[in-house]
């Protein structure tokens, strides 16, 4: 069986040089692919302390070894870089077809280096890669830019691009492909800093598998398993558009910038209400779930708004933070974010922050360009989305993210900035779902819900053991979730498929057939790869000055009781963060300061990192 480690395309925008490399077997054996390749190359190639928006940062776009083939829900792709929002390691995952197309063109990894002198885009085929003038599309929104690229290069083209937010270096700009986004951590900002508007891939379907016959057989098994799974049918019907029904009922739907865990009159924003405006569904390459639910507004002030979404996080981002029950406004805001290239979670978080500062008198009408930021009013929210993308007026301040904006405002504004390591909190209240909260605290990219999603807290998942969601003694479960996610993202398996398409043995066998490396069929081996990835990411962060001090929830979660209205969990706080970190670090084999210890690094085959950690 031939070995298939995948190829890498290196694009240097400063020199205009393009080259290809075969990924060495040693990297494949230790890191498998996807997120593993991302951190492996980033750690090796990025000098500590570089400016995330400078020429020396690198943007890595990765699919996984299973992308572009018959196996289901494994054609997602991701971006890894150093985040301009947090300064830490960044990974952001996206769907649609781009990952498959990248594979058809022959690549598992694109590394973009340097900075172009003027706006450019990269056009890639199986035989060629050109850096071309993007003057015509610079300034255009993501829909217009993608349509232009399709006209230039044909309908068999798939694109990852930025919108005006990325061009304007909004710190949480997204990369958009179709109508899906690599939203978190400001990956679109890094692209904008390089004057890179888009990467467009034109390619025909091509198989790249070490053992295509074995792979096909395994993929058919996976299709059968999925088709007969009840969880799959439910996800196909609803996507995540009804998750707020669950989170409101249990009091973990963050409201008014994380003061409450339940929205007033939340019956107005249920899945059924969104269902009434649904006009279609969309999905990713080779996934029958098509879980992206399309919504269209037909009446009222938002008539004509149309988006593939909002999904749960975005439903929350444009309702909960300002306590609006207007679902039409959430659809309009989602459309704007996709067009302008903004991360919806950070955008909603920054807007909720501004509303609270306005209530507290820390922002006045003269600071907000005349906008009255009063809870429940959704019109100013829509205006703010546009202002942020254009960095106009108050939008320029909010475009920096809550951590930097609070530091600029001063006067105690930091107390209302809801972030971990600079990344705005997502749609699960940490005081009511503490394993989820502690995942935010310790995730290598900051407060991210899917870096180690605590399904035990939210849905009562029984593996590796059930949790009491108010307990702070679940460090082992947090680690299980985080390492398991790293393991799956070598694939790159969609996080949603965890409930219905995830069969670890089958996944390992698929990887073995795709790569031609037998030991990938061994789950213990792959688990260890997940641990290795997580530790190397942590080492990357330590090199950048992240230790125990930055592993913390916002002050509000540690000092103010949660109010849940009619839901359980009233009065909950996070009271034992220090004890949690002691336990978590000890289980991980890290020092008291949260630095991976030499023995742990050696055990993981990361001998070369030991010295880097020594001076920290
Ligand atoms: S479950 Fe949804 S997000 Fe995941 S791969 Fe399928 S369509 Fe894409």
Using one digit for the tens of pLDDT, what is the confidence trace for 600-616? Answer: 999 999 999 999 999 78
C-alpha of residue 317 to centroid of ligand 1, in Å: 20
Confidence at residue 505, expressed as pLDDT on a 0 to 100 scale: 86
Does the pLDDT at position 542 exceed 80?
Answer: yes
Please give the angle made by the CA atoms of 499, 493 and 429, to the nearest 5 degrees: 55
Output the average pLDDT for the chain: 97
Q: Is 487 helix (H, G, I), strand (E, B) or coil?
A: helix
454-467 confidence digits (pLDDT tens): 999 999 999 999 99
| Separation of alpha carbons 137 and 49, rounded Å | 32
C-alpha of residue 439 to centroid of ligand 1, in Å: 23
Nearest-atom number in ligand 1 for the CA of 76 is 5
287 lines ligand 1 (CB under 6 A): yes
Does the pLDDT at position 228 exceed 90?
Answer: no
100 lines ligand 1 (CB under 6 A): no
> Residues near 213 by Cβ (< 8 Å), separated by ≥ 6?
none
The closest alpha carbon to 165, from 148, 147, 181, 149, belongs to 181
Pocket perturbation via mutation, ligand 1, pick of 95, 232, 238, 453 by most ligand atoms within 8 A of CB: 95
* Poorest-pLDDT segment among 222-236, 321-335, 425-439, 561-575: 222-236
Q: Are 562 and 250 in contact (CB under 8 A)?
A: no
For 608, counting Cβ atoms within 10 Å of its Cβ (0-12 exposed, 13-18 middle, 19+ buried), the class is exposed
C-alpha of residue 496 to centroid of ligand 1, in Å: 7
For 122, counting Cβ atoms within 10 Å of its Cβ (0-12 exposed, 13-18 middle, 19+ buried), the class is buried
93 lines ligand 1 (CB under 6 A): no
Confidence at residue 183, expressed as pLDDT on a 0 to 100 scale: 96
66 lines ligand 1 (CB under 6 A): no
For residue 597, what are the CA distances in angstroms to 300, 477, 520, 587? 59, 21, 27, 12
488-531 confidence digits (pLDDT tens): 999 999 999 877 777 888 999 999 999 999 999 999 999 999 99
315 lines ligand 1 (CB under 6 A): no
C-alpha of residue 491 to centroid of ligand 1, in Å: 14
Please give the distance of CA 272 from its chain centroid, rounded to a whole number: 26
Nearest-atom number in ligand 1 for the CA of 75 is 5
309 lines ligand 1 (CB under 6 A): no
C-alpha of residue 120 to centroid of ligand 1, in Å: 30
236 lines ligand 1 (CB under 6 A): no
Could you tell me whether strands 180-182 and 196-202 are parallel, antiparallel, or unpaired per DSSP bridges?
unpaired
289 lines ligand 1 (CB under 6 A): yes
Confidence at residue 208, expressed as pLDDT on a 0 to 100 scale: 84
When pLDDT is averaged across residues 304-321 and rounded to a whole number, the result is 97
114's tokens: 């340097």
485-494 b/e (C-beta count within 10 Å ≥ 16 → b): bbbbbbbbbb
Residue with tokens 């909010």: 398
| Separation of alpha carbons 526 and 212, rounded Å | 21
Q: Are 577 and 552 in contact (CB under 8 A)?
A: yes
Atom 5 (ligand 1) nearest CA: 73
56-101 confidence digits (pLDDT tens): 999 999 999 999 999 999 999 999 999 999 999 999 999 999 999 9
C-alpha of residue 549 to centroid of ligand 1, in Å: 36
Count CA atoms within 13 Å of residue 263 on its CB side.
Answer: 31
| Separation of alpha carbons 126 and 550, rounded Å | 44
404's tokens: 């930097």
Pocket perturbation via mutation, ligand 1, pick of 67, 287, 498 by most ligand atoms within 8 A of CB: 287
99 lines ligand 1 (CB under 6 A): no
For residue 122, what are the CA distances in angstroms to 18, 41, 407? 10, 21, 37
Q: Are 430 and 419 in contact (CB under 8 A)?
A: no
- Complete DSSP assignment for 172-222: TB-EEETTEEE-GGGHHHHHHHTTEEEEEEE-------SSHHHHHHHHHHH
290 lines ligand 1 (CB under 6 A): yes
227 pLDDT tier (thresholds 50, 70, 90): confident
Q: Are 178 and 307 in contact (CB under 8 A)?
A: no
- Complete DSSP assignment for 266-321: GGGGSHHHHHTTEEEEE--TT-TT--EEEEE--SSTTTT-EEEB--HHHHHHTTGG
Nearest-atom number in ligand 1 for the CA of 239 is 2
C-alpha of residue 284 to centroid of ligand 1, in Å: 5
When pLDDT is averaged across residues 200-218 and rounded to a whole number, the result is 94
74 lines ligand 1 (CB under 6 A): no
226 lines ligand 1 (CB under 6 A): no
Atom 8 (ligand 1) nearest CA: 284
The closest alpha carbon to 552, from 408, 446, 431, 412, belongs to 446
When pLDDT is averaged across residues 135-142 and rounded to a whole number, the result is 98
C-alpha of residue 283 to centroid of ligand 1, in Å: 6
Q: Is 228 helix (H, G, I), strand (E, B) or coil?
A: coil
Confidence at residue 211, expressed as pLDDT on a 0 to 100 scale: 96
Confidence at residue 2, expressed as pLDDT on a 0 to 100 scale: 78
When pLDDT is averaged across residues 312-326 and rounded to a whole number, the result is 98
> Residues near 255 by Cβ (< 8 Å), separated by ≥ 6?
261, 262, 263, 264, 320, 321, 323
Give me the helices (H) in 553-597, please. 555-559, 577-588
Strand order in the sheet with 306-308: 278-282, 292-296, 306-308
496 lines ligand 1 (CB under 6 A): yes
C-alpha of residue 333 to centroid of ligand 1, in Å: 22
579's tokens: 């004890």
> Residues near 199 by Cβ (< 8 Å), separated by ≥ 6?
61, 110, 112, 121, 122, 124, 159, 160, 161
Confidence at residue 179, expressed as pLDDT on a 0 to 100 scale: 94
Confidence at residue 83, expressed as pLDDT on a 0 to 100 scale: 98
Residue with tokens 């096909």: 216
295 or 503: which leads in pLDDT: 295
Confidence at residue 497, expressed as pLDDT on a 0 to 100 scale: 86
pTM for the complete prediction? Answer: 0.98
Does the pLDDT at position 445 exceed 90?
Answer: yes
Does the pLDDT at position 272 exceed 80?
Answer: yes
Confidence at residue 284, expressed as pLDDT on a 0 to 100 scale: 95
423's tokens: 């990344």
C-alpha of residue 312 to centroid of ligand 1, in Å: 14
C-alpha of residue 290 to centroid of ligand 1, in Å: 6
Q: Is 579 helix (H, G, I), strand (E, B) or coil?
A: helix
Q: How many CB atoms lie within 10 A of CB 163?
A: 31
| Separation of alpha carbons 220 and 72, rounded Å | 9
Q: How many CB atoms lie within 10 A of CB 64?
A: 30
For residue 607, what are the CA distances in angstroms to 36, 539, 612? 17, 12, 10
C-alpha of residue 208 to centroid of ligand 1, in Å: 22
> Residues near 50 by Cβ (< 8 Å), separated by ≥ 6?
56, 57, 82
146-203 confidence digits (pLDDT tens): 999 999 999 999 999 999 999 999 999 999 999 999 999 999 999 999 999 999 999 9
- Complete DSSP assignment for 3-24: ----EEEEEETTTTEEEEEEPP
283 lines ligand 1 (CB under 6 A): yes
Q: Is 532 helix (H, G, I), strand (E, B) or coil?
A: helix
């Amino acid at each position: 069986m031939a070995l298939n480690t995948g190829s890498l395309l290196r694009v240097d925008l400063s020199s205009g040089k393009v080259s290809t490399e075969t990924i060495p077997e040693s990297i494949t054996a230790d890191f498998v692919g996807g997120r593993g390749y991302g951190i492996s190359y980033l750690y090796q190639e990025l000098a500590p302390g570089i400016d995330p928006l400078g020429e020396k940062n690198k943007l890595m776009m990765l699919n996984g070894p299973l992308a572009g083939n018959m196996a289901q829900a494994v054609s997602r792709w991701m971006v890894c870089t150093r985040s301009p929002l947090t300064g830490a390691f960044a990974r952001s995952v996206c769907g649609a077809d781009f990952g498959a197309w990248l594979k058809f063109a022959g690549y598992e990894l694109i590394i973009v280096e340097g900075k172009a002198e003027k706006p450019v885009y990269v056009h890639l085929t199986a035989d060629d890669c050109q850096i071309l003038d993007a003057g015509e599309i610079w300034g255009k929104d993501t829909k217009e830019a993608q349509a232009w690229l399709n006209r230039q290069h044909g309908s068999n083209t798939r694109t990852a691009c930025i919108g005006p937010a990325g061009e304007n270096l909004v710190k949480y700009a997204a990369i958009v492909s179709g109508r899906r986004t690599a939203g978190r951590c400001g990956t679109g900002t890094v692209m904008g800093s390089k004057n890179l508007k888009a990467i467009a891939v034109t390619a025909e379907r091509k198989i790249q598998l070490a053992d295509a016959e074995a792979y096909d057989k395994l993929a058919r098994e996976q299709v059968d398993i999925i088709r007969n799974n009840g969880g799959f049918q439910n996800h196909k019907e609803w996507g995540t558009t009804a998750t707020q029904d669950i989170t409101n009922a249990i009091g973990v739907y963050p409201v008014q910038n994380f003061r409450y865990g339940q929205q007033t009159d939340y019956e107005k924003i249920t899945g059924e209400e969104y269902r009434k405006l649904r006009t279609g569904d969309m999905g990713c390459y080779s996934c029958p779930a098509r879980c992206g639910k399309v919504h269209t507004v037909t009446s009222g002030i938002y008539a004509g708004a149309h988006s593939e979404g909002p999904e749960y996080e975005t439903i929350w981002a444009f309702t909960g933070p300002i306590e609006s029950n207007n679902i039409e406004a959430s659809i309009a805001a989602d459309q704007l974010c996709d067009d302008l290239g903004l991360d919806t979670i950070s955008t909603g978080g920054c807007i909720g922050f501004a509303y609270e500062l306005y209530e507290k008198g820390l922002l006045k009408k003269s600071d907000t360009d005349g906008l009255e930021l009063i809870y429940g009013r959704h019109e100013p929210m829509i205006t703010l989305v546009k202002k942020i993308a254009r960095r106009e007026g108050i939008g320029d301040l909010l475009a920096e993210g809550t951590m930097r904006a609070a530091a600029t405002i001063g006067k105690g504004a930091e107390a209302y900035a809801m972030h971990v390591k600079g990344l705005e909190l997502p749609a699960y209240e940490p005081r009511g779902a503490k394993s989820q909260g502690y995942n935010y605290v310790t995730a290598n990219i900051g407060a991210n819900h899917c870096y180690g999603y605590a399904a035990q807290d939210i849905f009562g998942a029984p593996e590796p053991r059930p949790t009491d969601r108010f307990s702070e003694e679940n460090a082992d479960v947090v680690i299980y979730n985080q390492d398991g996610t790293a393991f799956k993202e070598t694939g790159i398996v969609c996080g949603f498929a965890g409930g219905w398409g995830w069969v670890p043995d089958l996944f390992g066998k698929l990887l073995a057939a795709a790569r031609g490396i037998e030991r990938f069929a061994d789950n213990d081996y792959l688990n260890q790869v997940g641990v290795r990835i997580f530790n190397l990411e942590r080492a990357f962060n330590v090199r950048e000055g992240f230790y125990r001090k930055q592993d913390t929830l916002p002050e509000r979660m540690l000092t103010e009781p949660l109010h849940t209205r009619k839901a359980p969990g009233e009065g909950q706080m996070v009271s034992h963060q220090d004890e949690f970190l002691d336990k978590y670090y000890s289980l991980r084999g890290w020092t008291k300061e949260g630095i991976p210890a030499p023995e742990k690094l050696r055990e993981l085959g990361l001998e070369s990192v030991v010295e880097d950690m020594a001076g920290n």
